[in-house]
Amino acid sequence: MLFRKLGRRAAALALGGALMLPAMNAFAATTYTATDNDTFWTLSKKFNVPLQTLMNANPKVDPQNIYQGLKLTIPAGSGNTVKAASTTNSKAAASITAKSVTTASGSVLGYTKVIDMKASAYSASIEENAWGAVDYFGNPLKLGTIAVDPKVIPLGTKVYITGYNFAGLPTGGMVATATDAGSAIVGNRIDIFVPDTRSNVSKFGFQYVKLYVLK
């Protein structure tokens, strides 16, 4: 495994807010074209449909991988009209979207920007940490520690990361703090610390993730 290897991912968790078209029949399901800013939770609020009902109507859709262009079935709400979001005004919609992201646990976090990153993972092994199992500031490595390029993400910055797929990390997304750095970390790249053996952590490989810079 490379020492402090990282990068970018085009994947998906996020928040909603799109311009609306005229209302459709309240008692008929409709097809909706998702954007990168949609999640089942935000869509349930937007269309006034219970979250579980919405997920049941889309059983083959991974809740953590809703991406632009994905076709979703929107069942009728509880007596309210269902409105289809415009797919031709995505740029205008993005400009009015509130900058907050809903975590896998349901918490809403404010953020200032989103950056696509190429990510890798590292362990506490001596082969990967010449100065010992500590971060740039000398603190012990722990879950939630990430290494960054300080020119892109200042050290000390708190972030929320989504889009990875690895058993050693929290499912759906994780809050982390940029407290480490490395010579191989340049540009839109991050290295995520995983508290496991070097051999298991090396299975992470390279993955593309979204990094939300939190307020």
Mean of all residue pLDDT scores within the chain: 78
Q: What is the CATH superfamily name and number for domain 20-96?
A: LysM domain (3.10.350.10)
Looking at residue 86, its amino acid is: S
H/E element holding 100? strand 100-102
- For the stretch 174-208, what's the b/e string if a residue is b when 16 or more beta carbons lie within 10 angstroms of its beta carbon? bbbbbbbbbeebeebbbbbbbebeeeebbebeebb
The matching CATH number, chosen from 1.20.1730.10, 2.60.40.10, 2.40.40.10, 3.30.160.20, for 108-214 is: 2.40.40.10
Of the pLDDT bands very low, low, confident and very high (cuts 50, 70, 90), residue 77 is low
Gap between the Cα atoms of 205 and 186, Å rounded: 17
CA atoms within 13 A of residue 164's CA, in its CB half-sphere: 30
Gap between the Cα atoms of 129 and 14, Å rounded: 33
* Beta pairing partners, 189: 118
Chain segment 163-197, per-residue pLDDT in tens: 999 999 999 999 999 999 998 999 999 999 999 99
Give span(s): CATH 2.40.40.10, the chain. 108-214
Of the pLDDT bands very low, low, confident and very high (cuts 50, 70, 90), residue 198 is very high
Angle at 42 between CA 144 and CA 66, to 5 degrees: 70
Residue 7 DSSP one-character state: B
Of the pLDDT bands very low, low, confident and very high (cuts 50, 70, 90), residue 28 is low
More confident call, 41 vs 165 = 165
The residue among 48, 55, 97 whose CA lies nearest residue 76 is 48
Give span(s): CATH 3.10.350.10, the chain. 20-96
Q: What is the pTM of this model?
A: 0.56
Q: What single string gives the DSSP state of each residue in 143-201?
A: TTEEE--TTTS-TT-EEEEES---TTS-TT-EEEEEEE--TT--SSEEEEE-SS-HHHH
More confident call, 154 vs 130 = 154
